[in-house]
């Protein structure tokens, strides 16, 4: 990095350590480094679940209560920029120890809360970066890492920019409710929001947003899902204190929403999807590139890509409906089958017998190079959980979607895809079974 002397900006980037949050932040950092000569220190937060479990079950752990092995400041490991990337993106690495989760929702809650406990380590890191060349000038952190970072930015008088890694529309929905005189309880309880919709309290619609119907609101995870509280708290704090929001979106898809004033300035910097030649993996899991060779052998525009992102899961009964509908459609498919895709079952790989019933029309991987897959000429459709990154990656590559939203923001994303942009259709659950049944799957495909 021969020209560091002329650089002025040095940002510390703090992601929520979850795939759908790391990807957009890293892509934003690459743009800042490439187009605006920023020096970036990107914080890699390394999660340890097993270690904590082992520590708990070890005899020593029972003798005296040991403090959580959170990383100390001197545990920050630095690595220099990757010369192959030709960008001044340095890496700092911290460990986060989390107790073994009892369920996937608990795992997520542990992650969201655990990351906030890293504030002392992040503060030490910021102090060290003040001594580096160029010294740190700002903090860019995920909206959901507000509790760990906003007060540090205030204390050290650094501007903090908060990245909204999801659609702006869902954040604006919460913003309107919080500003519109509804209590936090009303905002956070889906049943109360449903009641308000039934009573037509939102009948005029909320500024900048499509008019919601009762079943546009999220389901799954019940009433007190911590994410609603988390989102509202992070949003309040950020609106009042952050220097600016940056949102992974753009005028043509959320123009009306982006116009609404949210107190702090808002910059739409999306779509944060790299052109293929610049796409360097930020995957936490190993990508199986062999699927690209399989795609090479398929006719153009013939394959349905099926992927539910890094967290969403389905029941065994739902899986069976999906598979039967898919096989009946006789559609070629590439399916990302993560080991934890199916709830409450030990079966972690796609059943061989079902795959053989596809007669060579199907290919399964546990993790794919998704952007490369969506760019492949054989891909013609995407059955997706409507995570915001997947949504933007699909529209950037011109791939229509079959929407199977799983939680929180994904219901709003599905609404935008289907009703506003008209580039997809939504799978609907049967009222009797509560599942998307096989006929619906086959019809949609
Ligand atoms: C989460 C939320 O669910 C999402 O709604 C929110 O907007 C961001 O954080 P996730 O569920 O993982 O993310 O979905 P998504 O936003 O689609 O992000 C997944 C990322 O993993 C995408 O960038 C995708 O390209 C990548 N991916 C997914 C792979 O690289 N390989 C795969 O096999 C599957």
Q: How far is the CA of 134 from the centre of ligand 1 (A)?
A: 33
Q: Within this chain, do residues 297 and 391 fall inside the same structural domain, yes or no?
A: yes
Query: Does a structural domain hold residue 107?
Result: yes
Report the residue among 21, 30, 305, 309 best suited for mutation to probe ligand 1: largest number of ligand atoms under 8 A from its CB: 309
Q: What are the backbone dihedrals phi and psi of residue 404, each rounded to the nearest 5 degrees, phi first?
A: -135, 70
Quick check: helix, strand or coil at residue 86?
Answer: coil
Q: How far is the CA of 140 from the centre of ligand 1 (A)?
A: 20
- CATH code for the domain in which residue 133 is found: 3.40.50.2000
Q: Within this chain, do residues 399 and 319 fall inside the same structural domain, yes or no?
A: yes
For the segment 218-253, what is each residue's pLDDT rounded down to a tens digit?
665 555 667 788 888 899 999 999 999 999 999 999
Q: Within this chain, do residues 20 and 79 fall inside the same structural domain, yes or no?
A: yes
Joined tokens for residue 303: 């394959």
For the segment 163-175, what is each residue's pLDDT rounded down to a tens digit?
999 999 999 988 9
Report the residue among 248, 390, 412 best suited for mutation to probe ligand 1: largest number of ligand atoms under 8 A from its CB: 390
Task: Kindly list the distances between the CA atom of residue 104 and the CA atoms of 68, 221, 318, 367, 386, in Å, as whole numbers in the listed order.
Answer: 21, 11, 17, 18, 19
pLDDT value at residue 56: 46
Task: Kindly list the distances between the CA atom of residue 345 and the CA atoms of 241, 325, 407, in Å, as whole numbers in the listed order.
Answer: 45, 21, 21
| Residue in 387, 295, 287, 313 with CA at minimum distance from that of residue 107 | 313
pLDDT value at residue 140: 98
Q: Within this chain, do residues 270 and 304 fall inside the same structural domain, yes or no?
A: no
Report the predicted TM-score, pTM, of the whole model to 2 decimal places.
Answer: 0.91
Report the residue among 17, 18, 20 best suited for mutation to probe ligand 1: largest number of ligand atoms under 8 A from its CB: 20
CA 245/CA 413 separation, integer angstroms: 20
Q: Within this chain, do residues 351 and 402 fall inside the same structural domain, yes or no?
A: yes
What count of other Cβ atoms lies within 10 Å of the Cβ of residue 222? 10
Q: Within this chain, do residues 82 and 115 fall inside the same structural domain, yes or no?
A: yes
Q: Within this chain, do residues 133 and 264 fall inside the same structural domain, yes or no?
A: yes
Q: Within this chain, do residues 262 and 394 fall inside the same structural domain, yes or no?
A: no
Average pLDDT over residues 155-163: 98
- The DSSP 8-state label assigned to residue 314 in this structure reads B
pLDDT value at residue 220: 52
How many structural domains compose the chain? 2
Quick check: helix, strand or coil at residue 406?
Answer: coil
The percentage of the chain sitting over the pLDDT mark of 70, rounded to a whole number, equals 89
Residues 6+ apart with CB under 8 A from 269: 28, 31, 246, 247, 248
Least confident window among 1-5, 26-30, 274-278, 385-389: 1-5
Atom of ligand 1 nearest to the CA of 338: 33
Query: Does a structural domain hold residue 213?
Result: no
pLDDT value at residue 191: 75
Q: Is the pLDDT of residue 74 over 60?
A: no
Q: How far is the CA of 217 from the centre of ligand 1 (A)?
A: 20
Query: Does a structural domain hold residue 194?
Result: no
Joined tokens for residue 384: 């997706």
Protein residue with least CA distance to atom 2, ligand 1? 387
Q: How far is the CA of 387 from the centre of ligand 1 (A)?
A: 6
CA 282/CA 122 separation, integer angstroms: 21
pLDDT value at residue 219: 61
For residue 121, give the H/E element and its range.
helix 119-130
CA Rg, the chain, in Å? 22
CA 312/CA 79 separation, integer angstroms: 32
Annotate 143-169 with DSSP letters as a single string: GGGHHHHHHHHHHTT--EEEEE-S-HH
CA 423/CA 216 separation, integer angstroms: 17
Q: Within this chain, do residues 297 and 243 fall inside the same structural domain, yes or no?
A: no
Ligand 1 cavity residues, CB under 6 Å: 18-21, 23, 165-166, 283, 307, 309-312, 336, 367-368, 370-371, 387-390, 393, 409-410
Query: Does a structural domain hold residue 180?
Result: no
Query: Does a structural domain hold residue 178?
Result: no
pLDDT value at residue 224: 61
Joined tokens for residue 157: 């008088």
pLDDT value at residue 223: 57
Q: How far is the CA of 17 from the centre of ligand 1 (A)?
A: 12
Q: E-strand spans in 219-316?
A: 244-247, 266-268, 303-307
Which domain range does residue 352 map to?
Answer: 290-444
Query: Does a structural domain hold residue 181?
Result: no
Q: Within this chain, do residues 236 and 151 fall inside the same structural domain, yes or no?
A: yes
Q: How far is the CA of 310 from the centre of ligand 1 (A)?
A: 5
Q: Within this chain, do residues 328 and 413 fall inside the same structural domain, yes or no?
A: yes
For the segment 424-440, what is each residue's pLDDT rounded down to a tens digit?
999 999 989 999 999 99
Joined tokens for residue 176: 């309107």
Does ipTM come in above 0.90? yes
Query: Does a structural domain hold residue 193?
Result: no
Q: Within this chain, do residues 380 and 362 fall inside the same structural domain, yes or no?
A: yes
Residues 419/388, Cβ–Cβ less than 8 Å: no
pLDDT value at residue 421: 97
Average pLDDT over residues 143-172: 97
pLDDT value at residue 218: 61
pLDDT value at residue 178: 84
For the segment 290-310, what is each residue's pLDDT rounded down to a tens digit?
999 999 999 999 999 999 999
For the segment 317-356, what is each residue's pLDDT rounded down to a tens digit?
999 999 999 999 999 999 999 998 998 777 788 888 888 8
Residues 187/228, Cβ–Cβ less than 8 Å: yes
pLDDT value at residue 57: 45
Q: Is the pLDDT of residue 272 over 70?
A: yes
Q: What is the mean pLDDT of the chain?
A: 87
Least confident window among 122-136, 146-160, 215-229, 287-301: 215-229
């Amino acid at each position: 990095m021969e020209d560091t002397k002329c650089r002025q900006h040095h940002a510390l980037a703090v992601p929520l350590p979850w795939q759908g949050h790391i990807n957009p932040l890293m892509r934003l950092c690459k743009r800042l480094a490439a187009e605006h000569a920023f020096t970036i220190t990107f914080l890699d937060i390394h999660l340890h679940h097993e270690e904590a479990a082992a520590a708990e079950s070890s005899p020593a752990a029972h003798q005296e209560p040991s403090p959580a092995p959170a990383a100390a400041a001197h545990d920050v490991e630095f690595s220099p920029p990757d010369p192959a990337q030709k960008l001044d993106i340095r890496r700092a690495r911290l460990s986060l120890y989390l107790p073994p989760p009892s369920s996937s929702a608990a795992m997520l809650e542990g992650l969201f809360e655990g990351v906030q406990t890293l504030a002392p380590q992040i503060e030490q890191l910021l102090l060290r970066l003040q001594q580096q060349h160029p010294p740190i000038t700002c903090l860019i952190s995920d909206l959901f890492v507000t509790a760990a970072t906003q007060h540090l930015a205030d204390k050290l008088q650094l501007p903090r920019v908060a990245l909204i890694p999801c659609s702006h529309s869902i954040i604006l929905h919460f913003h309107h409710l919080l500003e519109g005189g509804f209590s936090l309880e009303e905002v956070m309880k889906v049943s109360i929001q449903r009641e308000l919709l039934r009573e037509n309290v939102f009948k005029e619609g909320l500024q900048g947003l499509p008019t919601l119907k009762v079943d546009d609101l999220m389901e799954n995870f019940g009433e007190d899902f911590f994410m609603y509280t988390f989102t509202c708290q992070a949003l309040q704090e950020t609106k009042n204190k952050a220097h600016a929001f940056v949102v992974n979106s753009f005028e043509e898809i959320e123009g009306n929403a982006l116009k609404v004033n949210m107190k702090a300035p808002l910059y739409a910097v999306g779509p944060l999807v790299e052109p293929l030649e610049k796409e360097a993996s930020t995957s936490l899991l190993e990508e199986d590139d062999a699927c690209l060779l399989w795609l090479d052998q398929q006719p153009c525009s013939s394959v349905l890509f099926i992927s539910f992102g890094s967290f969403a899961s389905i029941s065994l009964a739902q899986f069976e409906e999906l598979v039967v509908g898919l096989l009946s459609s006789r559609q070629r498919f590439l399916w990302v089958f993560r080991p934890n895709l199916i709830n409450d079952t030990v079966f972690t790989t796609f059943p061989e017998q079902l795959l053989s019933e596809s007669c060579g029309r199907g290919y399964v991987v546990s993790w794919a190079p998704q952007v490369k897959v969506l760019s492949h000429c054989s891909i013609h459709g995407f059955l997706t959980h409507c995570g915001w990154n997947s949504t933007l990656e699909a529209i950037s590559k011109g791939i229509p979607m079959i929407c199977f939203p799983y939680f929180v923001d994904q219901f709003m994303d599905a609404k935008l895809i289907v009703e506003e942009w008209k580039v997809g259709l939504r799978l609907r659950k049967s009222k009797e079974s509560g599942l998307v049944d096989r006929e619906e799957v086959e019809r949609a495909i």
